[in-house]
Homo-oligomer: A and B are copies of this chain.
Amino acid sequence: MFDFAVANLLFLESPAGVGFSYSDTPSDYYNFGDAKTAEDSYTFLLNWFERFPQYKHRDFYIAGESYAGHYVPQLSQLIYERNKGVKNPIINFKGFMVGNAVTDDYNDYVGTFEYWWTHGLISDSTYKTLQATCEGSSSEHPPIECIRALNTAQMEQGNIDPYSIYTKTCNYSAASASQKRRGRYPWMRGAYDPCTEQYAIQYFNLPEVQKAFHANITKLSYPWKTCSDIVGEYWTDSPLSMLPIYKELIAAGLRVWVFSGDTDSVVPLTATRYSIDALNLTTVANWYAWYDNSKVAGWSQIYKGLTFVTVTGAGHEVPLHRPRQAFILFRSFLENKAMQRN
């Protein structure tokens, strides 16, 4: 049904201190920020292309999700600017795609609080307090009243998975039984397993897996984790908005796609809708349902310079929740083809 050979994929765990990426000077972990991450990733790419020269000059795209809503446009901007005036650039950069992406602190706050209230996750009173105390402030350094309101909101939300509000949370002790059942009944594989993150932590810490990946050959003093507390805690620069970079790269004619899984409450689609609206782009095709197998798979709007796509029923990580729709989305992005109408 699908021709899967659409692209070569290169995964980068970034910045150093995250995943298997590391620094020879671990004190670096306390000094990371957006700018250093972009510079390091750029250096990595140059070295990688030297090591694998057969990939030089090919069409090159960057994609990422969540806080990569900062990493991806910033690295894109760096590559774009260093390529300026270069005739046949080694990194033949064509565009980027981000999903459930942190984009613009002001609009992200407005849209996130509205998502929480309209999805019934928080009280009327907390909604009002969040609007009064957080909106307009930096998400990296919010005022104390905003932090208090965010804590109240989290308490009101209860024990749900904020990254996928309608699916179950992981009950790890029951997970092995569920794994066994799916082993026996392979047609049940379609559903999202909320313990996926737990399995990944186990998996990437297995010595045989690390060996097969050629990873962790310097024997790090800490295990592979999904998030580095140190890197997160000591984070330095984090600009309030990526929208100026969007404007610059759209004006440069680069391909820019943005997508949202619509059941994520962490960086929800309403946040992204407000951020994109703030770009004041011309609409080429207004909001329409896109289809896969005659079923609505989400919605899309095409602007001059930017395409926005939602994937319905998908949480924070679209490829994890809706792998088939994510593949169609990825292929459409590479082919620069609009998502299919009915």
B286 near A159 (CB under 8 angstroms)? no
A160 within 8 A of B: yes
A89-124 Cβ-contact flags toward B at 8 Å (1 or 0): 000000000000000000000000011011111111
Which residues of chain B have C-beta atoms less than 8 A from A122's C-beta?
A: 287
CB < 8 Å neighbour of A158 from B157, B165, B289: B289
A114 near B118 (CB under 8 angstroms)? yes
Min CB distance, A275 to chain B, in Å?
A: 12
A296 near B262 (CB under 8 angstroms)? no
In whole angstroms, how far apart are the Cα atoms of A273 and B117 in the complex? 9
A287 near B126 (CB under 8 angstroms)? yes
In whole angstroms, how far apart are the Cα atoms of A260 and B310 in the complex? 25
A74 within 8 A of B: no
Min CB distance, A247 to chain B, in Å?
A: 19
In whole angstroms, how far apart are the Cα atoms of A123 and B288 in the complex? 8
* Chain A interface residue bracket vs B: 35 or more
B166 near A289 (CB under 8 angstroms)? no
Which residues of chain B have C-beta atoms less than 8 A from A336's C-beta?
A: none
**Known: A289-B160, A295-B168, A342-B159. Is A262-B119 also a contact (CB below 8 A)?**
yes
Which residues of chain B have C-beta atoms less than 8 A from A126's C-beta?
A: 286-287
Q: Which residue of B lies closest to A310 (CB)?
A: B120
14 contacts between A and B (CB under 8 A): A119-B262, A120-B273, A120-B299, A120-B312, A123-B287, A125-B283, A126-B287, A156-B286, A156-B289, A157-B289, A158-B291, A160-B296, A160-B312, A169-B295
